[in-house]
């Protein structure tokens, strides 16, 4: 199968944060690539990556960045593909808020879907959902994943009831 999702990050130090996106995509059977593309240190690489993404078969780009976190927005300004931004709490970060706001506060016309701080897993799920909108097999895997989550929560409810915890809601 062709690579459908590009996972990019500003530095290889962001890899531990971004790996859960790759794990989710792998679990859903979606081929991906992962590389470093820095908006500040390799701006021409970033431009080329964004310009060629669709022609290379990508359908979604997940971009993780810390600090000033310009990568997701700059990539979104160059490509018409959906871009999902992952704010990364980095060593030079202001508790991650700088990254969150840099990605979240995009001007009208240049949207970036933004997940929570260090939440690359959610970025992977959202990328799968975007692909699943046009791919029934992926859609079914996502539906099964959500059903599994629901079942796990309901099992926890039953365990609490069995432990004698009060719960009028499920009476």
Rounded Cα distance between 37 and 102, Å, is 17
Give the C-alpha distances (Å, rounded to integers) separating 116 from 49, 97, 99. Answer: 24, 10, 10
41 annotated ligand binder: yes
Q: Return the closest-CA partner of residue 46 out of 75, 6, 24, 17.
A: 75
99 annotated ligand binder: no
How many angstroms from the chain centroid is the CA of residue 6? 10
14 annotated ligand binder: yes
Contact (CB, 8 A) for 53 and 2: no
Rounded Cα distance between 130 and 17, Å, is 21
DSSP 106: P
Q: Return the closest-CA partner of residue 51 out of 76, 32, 70, 34.
A: 76
Rounded Cα distance between 115 and 119, Å, is 6
Instruction: Please report, in range form, the residues annotated as the binding site.
Output: 11, 14, 41
Instruction: Please report, in range form, the residues annotated as the binding site for substrate.
Output: 11, 14, 41
């Amino acid at each position: 199968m062709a690579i459908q999702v590009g996972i990019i990050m500003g530095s290889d130090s962001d890899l531990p944060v971004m790996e859960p996106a790759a794990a989710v995509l792998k679990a859903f059977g979606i081929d991906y690539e992962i590389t470093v593309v820095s908006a500040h240190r390799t701006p021409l690489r970033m431009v080329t990556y964004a310009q060629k993404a669709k022609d290379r078969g990508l359908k979604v780009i997940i971009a993780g960045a810390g600090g000033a976190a310009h990568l997701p927005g700059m990539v979104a300004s160059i490509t018409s593909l959906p871009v999902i931004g992952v704010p990364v709490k980095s060593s030079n970060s202001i508790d991650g808020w700088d990254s969150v706001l840099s990605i979240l506060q995009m001007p009208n016309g240049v949207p970036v879907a933004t997940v929570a701080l260090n939440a690359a897993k959610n970025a992977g799920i959202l990328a799968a959902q975007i692909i699943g909108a046009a791919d029934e097999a992926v859609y079914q895997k996502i539906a099964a994943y959500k059903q599994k989550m629901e079942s796990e929560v309901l099992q926890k409810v039953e365990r609490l009831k069995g432990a004698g915890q009060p719960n009028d809601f499920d009476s």
